[in-house]
Amino acid sequence: MKLKTKNNLQLGLLIFSVLVLDQLTKFIAVKFFEISCNRGGAFGISGNFAVISILVLIVVLWLFLKEKNRLNLVALSLVFSGGFSNLIDRFTVGCVRDFVDFKVFPSFNLADTAITVGAILIFYNLIFANKDEA
């Protein structure tokens, strides 16, 4: 079953919006707020994650192309766009720019939020959604 063009446009707009909003908020944060430069992975895990990020994005894109469930498509769009935006940072700035800091856990950005919300939606759908829905 192919998705309708309208659905594809909506998912494309979601991906584009997250990318643009994340990069815009990072641009503004650099000018007006204190930012941290995360050279590691999620939640401040240390290491060089550019190659791992690329591999994960390829897997997410592959899953996206095979997926039929609407909620999972939205979730994968969020994960892909957030991951891609952070990858842009890794290649253009040398690190992921984080600026939201509640002092309770590592600082983060809009892309990290999109990835987290996408992952939560995927787990929600795996646990609670009707498997017959597409």
The active-site residue, picked from 22, 89, 101, 112, is 112
pLDDT for 87 equals 94
The active-site residue, picked from 22, 98, 101, 132, is 98
Higher pLDDT, 2 or 45: 45
Q: Respond yes or no: is residue 22 known to be catalytic.
A: no
Residue 32: give the domain boundaries: 5-128
Q: How far apart are CA 82 and CA 111, in angstroms?
A: 4
Token pair in block for residue 35: 């930012």
Q: What share of the chain is helix, strand, coil (3-state, %, to 5)?
A: 65, 5, 25
**pLDDT digits 0-9 by tens, 47-96:** 567 788 888 899 999 999 999 899 999 999 999 999 999 999 999 999 99
Q: How far apart are CA 14 and CA 33, in angstroms?
A: 26
Is 134 domain-assigned? no
User: How many other CB atoms are there within 10 angstroms of residue 13's CB atom?
Assistant: 11
Is 102 domain-assigned? yes
Is 133 domain-assigned? no
What's the mean per-residue pLDDT of the chain? Answer: 87
Show Cβ contacts of residue 124 under 8 Å, excluding neighbours closer than 6 positions: 71
pLDDT for 48 equals 63
Quote the number of domains for the chain.
Answer: 1
